[in-house]
A and B are shown apart, each in its own frame.
Chain A
Amino acid sequence: MRNIWTICRRELRSYFFSPIAYVFGLLFLGITCWYGSQLLRHEGQASMVEFFRLLPQVFIGFLPALTMRLWAEERKTGTLELLLTFPVSIPQIIAGKFFAAMVYLALLLILTLALPVTMAWHGKLDWYSVSVTYFASLLLAAAYVSVGMFWSSITRDQIIAFLLALVTLFALFKTGEFGQSLIGLLPEWLGGDRIALFVLALSPQRYFDSIARGVVDTGDLVFYLCFCAFFLHANALVLYGKRVKG
């Protein structure tokens, strides 16, 4: 546990001692809060629904930029070699980096609380629904970070890591629509609607929407847990591969 915390602290330090954290944070907050304030002005009602409709899309564009350097930079500068010879296990290093990204994102999400607070001032806000949806946002971000981290581990080029993560997240975002369009399309001998349901079940957005509706279902939590576990495990396999292939 202490090793995870040591890695996590170093990562956070490198976020905040470089311009990344500030540029990224300002852009993220700027876009989300500007959009939110527009909503308030035009619609004149205290609701975070539109904000949370936008947030997952902002995540798709922004999170790959946050995660692209996590491994690619270490590979490029050679610090990965030193990191892997410290007396820390690979899962501990992965956990440390993952939690650092999550702590940073949680901080950003806390800052966006300015928006619902302003809204609550102007009208009556459903705080229960807002907090549940914030929770869902964090889960969705965790899923996306695990994808971005995985792609960052396979390359030493940050741009490639960014693009691969962006495309993957976008494709995942679209699986909902794709699954819907498959319903009733495939003949029974090809599996019929079972395929469509399977594709639908892969969409992280679907579980986000489900939680955002106000009911935190165990199934939703299990999905996010498995999703993150899958990509973080794949990440670990890439690093174990480094120990064989050099």
Chain B
Amino acid sequence: MINVDQLKKSYDGISYALKGVSFEVAQGEVIGFLGPNGAGKSTTMKILTGFLLPSAGVATIDGLDVVRRSLEVRRRIGYLPESTPLYHEMRVDDYLRFAGRIRGVAGRGLTAAVSRVVSLCGLERVTGKNIIELSKGYKQRVGLAQAMIHHPKVLILDEPTSGLDPNQIVEVRRLVRQLGEEHTVMLSTHILQEVEASCSRIIIISLGELVADGSLDQLVGELEPGALVARVKGPRDTVLSQMRQLLGEEVPIEVDGDTGAFETYRIHLNGNKEYVEDGLAHLIIKNGWSLASLVRERRTLEDVFHSKTLRAQQEAGHA
């Protein structure tokens, strides 16, 4: 549905905000588009929506070039820019009618479309109000409503939950998941739980380059596994030496806690994905020590984000 090939953008002709980004998004996918500030997320979205012209490379939506067939592409897209710009002096229903009309929804279809998005976004109580009187959460919903009034094939949402309170965030997330059932959605955000909650695939860019692309499980799986954490009561030095004997001398183990009580052993298995838990448990029990817990630390999207974007920044720093 969205096809981006070697997309480059420079605002000043010298430095590049996008340095050749390529990815594909299939129909019906909900893509979480991540990256640190200034990574080029908004720039990419602005190019896809036809607001900005790329400096090089090609982007197509539904097979149509976003530059050469811009108007047709824009008809297929719903866009919520960062900071949700709206005409504050307009009433909510007037604004939605305008947004529908300008996107080619007319006549009886317009009234139906407005009431559809009003109920989808929970705007029933505020349709008669001026946009300027609305709370930030409602403004955000109006922004979402205008983006989907014409039933677009693709929704591009730039930080749809920034500035919302936790309840509103949950609301918007629920909405995005619901949208993902009918539309192809691409959303950028800084809130990683949001991506875990609503996205089927994750694309991370950093400093204008793509650094990760895959499902959450895939990306987490690519990382080194988390440390194995054992809470053991027993003589520390013997425990350590026995563990090293089993796992290998060079395995780093950190110990934390008071002697005589349960101590926490963090075992960094560095790249070793083998299942060693039962061997370890057996060892502890055989020696008559007590074992309170034995878990492998879960790697999260946060770890993926840090490792991918920091690496890109370090490489840029060294270059």
Contacts and interface: CB of A to CB of B under 8 A. Distances in A.
B74 interface: yes
Given A87-B75, A87-B102, A78 B51 contact: no
Interface in B51-88: 51-53, 71-72, 74-75, 77, 79, 81, 83, 85-88
Contacts of A14: 87, 89-90
Interface residues of A, number: 26
B184 to A, nearest CB: 17
A80 B46 CA distance: 12
Given A87-B71, A88-B102, A246-B46, A82 B89 contact: no
Interface in A231-246: 243-246
Contact of B71 (A6, A7, A89): A89
Nearest to B77: A85
B94 A13 contact: yes
A78 B83 contact: yes
Contacts of A3: 102
A77 B88 contact: yes
A126 interface: no
Contacts of A86: 74, 99, 102-103
A84 B77 CA distance: 13
A128 interface: no
B262 interface: no
B138 interface: no
B85 A82 contact: yes
Nearest to A10: B98
Contacts of B90: 10, 13-14, 17
Contact of B102 (A7, A81, A244): A7
A246 B48 CA distance: 14
B151 interface: no
Nearest to A96: B102
A14 B88 CA distance: 9
A79 B51 contact: no
B36 interface: no
B246 to A, nearest CB: 59
A88 B49 CA distance: 13
B98 A243 contact: no
A216 B71 CA distance: 40
Nearest to B83: A78
B89 A18 contact: yes
Contacts of A244: 52-53
B43 to A, nearest CB: 8
Interface in A205-233: none
Given A18-B89, A77-B85, A87-B103, 18 more contacts: A6-B98, A10-B87, A10-B98, A14-B87, A17-B90, A17-B130, A77-B88, A81-B46, A82-B79, A82-B81, A82-B146, A84-B50, A86-B103, A87-B72, A87-B102, A89-B71, A243-B53, A245-B11
Q: Which 6 A-B pairs have the closest CB atoms?
A: A78-B85, A87-B74, A79-B85, A85-B49, A87-B75, A6-B101
Interface of B: 11, 43, 46, 49-53, 71-72, 74-75, 77, 79, 81, 83, 85-91, 94, 98-99, 101-104, 106, 130, 146
Interface of A: 2-3, 6-7, 9-10, 13-14, 17-18, 77-82, 84-89, 243-246
